[in-house]
């Protein structure tokens, strides 16, 4: 088979190319492109049986221009950028790198909670200004109630880490899941009881703007909210207003409502976003997946997915 990596999936070329030797040893042709050039995707894909990429748009126009593709090995977990209906019509198998960033995102979520509670950035600035004193008091995670929205792999791992810090963990999932040490509650109860709300649910029609002004009004005035899942789960302007009005105490976000796909090369928010002027916010540029360990893991998962497809193993 002809396997084409349209990009080095955010790793250096030599690492990816060497990892493909196992495929070459089985007689497959593997081409790894050294750069990410969406405008060249159609040209680079000609004659390929298997396409590997991360988050570049693969829409109907792409599939109309490129025939013969048997498999897409998507080296990220999300598939928002792939026209799955077209893949189904054309009998193209699609596999993602599910689970590669579980640890990275869960650890970041905990780190964001600690940052908001201990004012780490602000205290750094106090020190750098050579002034006496500090921004006090902070808060501890121990004894706080963490409400997790979405008990997928990342939500479950966040629960494990939070319990290690001494948090009481409650959760809401569209279909209740039994997780040791986690109490299932309805969404209303979760928002009302939680000191920290962590969002780890997928973005669907049902979860789009799941958290808006009404839901934010149910939270404690001392509560904070953390989102490392998909930005569209929270209605951005409503969150900014809740922070400004003191409805809730703080927010830490790695994703944003209306955020453009990463392949566009655009910033996650514009300078007119109301969150930029909201108090006690931590705004990160979608880095949850971005650890060296996660990047190597997703490369390994991607190659494993290709091997399974080639060997007719159900993914």
Task: Please tell me the pTM assigned to this model.
Answer: 0.90
CA nearest to 160, candidates 121, 127, 200: 200
Sign of the torsion angle spanned by Cα atoms 180, 182, 184, 187: negative
Residue 262 binned pLDDT confidence (cut-offs 50, 70, 90)? low
Helix (H, G, I), strand (E, B) or coil at 1: coil
Q: Which of 102-106, 173-177, 201-205 has the highest mean pLDDT?
A: 102-106
Residue 86 and residue 300: Cα distance in Å, rounded?
A: 27
Q: Is the peptide bond before 137 cis (omega within 30 degrees of 0)?
A: yes
Residue 153, number of CB atoms within 10 A of its CB: 17
> For the chain, what percent of residues have pLDDT higher than 90?
88
Mean pLDDT of 85-103: 96
Residue 264: predicted pLDDT: 67
Residues recognised as catalytic: 230, 259, 286
| Average pLDDT in the chain | 94
């Amino acid at each position: 088979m002809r396997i084409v990596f349209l990009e080095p999936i955010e790793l250096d070329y030599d690492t990816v190319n060497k990892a493909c030797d196992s495929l070459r040893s089985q007689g497959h042709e593997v081409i790894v492109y050294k750069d990410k050039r969406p405008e060249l995707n159609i040209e680079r894909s000609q004659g390929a049986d298997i396409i590997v990429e991360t988050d570049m748009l693969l829409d109907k126009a792409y599939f109309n221009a490129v025939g013969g593709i048997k498999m897409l090995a998507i080296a990220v977990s999300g598939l928002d950028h792939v026209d799955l209906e077209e893949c189904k019509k054309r009998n193209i198998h699609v596999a993602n790198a599910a689970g590669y960033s579980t640890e990275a995102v869960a650890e970041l979520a905990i780190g964001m909670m600690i940052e908001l509670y201990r004012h780490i950035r602000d205290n750094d600035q106090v020190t750098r200004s050579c002034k006496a004193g500090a921004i006090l008091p902070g808060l501890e995670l121990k004894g706080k109630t963490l409400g997790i929205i979405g008990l997928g792999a990342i939500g479950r791992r966040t629960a494990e880490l939070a319990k290690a810090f001494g948090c009481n963990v409650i959760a809401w999932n569209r279909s209740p899941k039994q997780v040791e040490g986690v109490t299932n509650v309805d969404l209303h109860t979760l928002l009302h009881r939680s000191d920290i709300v962590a969002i780890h649910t997928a973005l669907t029609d049902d979860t789009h703007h799941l958290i808006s002004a009404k839901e934010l009004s149910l939270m404690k005035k001392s509560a904070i909210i953390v989102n490392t899942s998909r930005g569209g789960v929270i209605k951005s302007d409503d969150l900014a207003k809740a922070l400004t009005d003191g409805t809730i105490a703080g927010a830490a976000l790695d994703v944003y409502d209306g955020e453009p796909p990463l392949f566009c090369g655009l910033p996650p928010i514009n300078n007119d976003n109301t969150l930029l002027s909201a108090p006690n916010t931590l705004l990160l540029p979608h880095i949850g997946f971005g650890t060296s360990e996660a990047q190597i893991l997703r490369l390994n998962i991607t190659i494993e997915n290709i091997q399974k497809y080639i060997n007719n193993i159900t993914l």
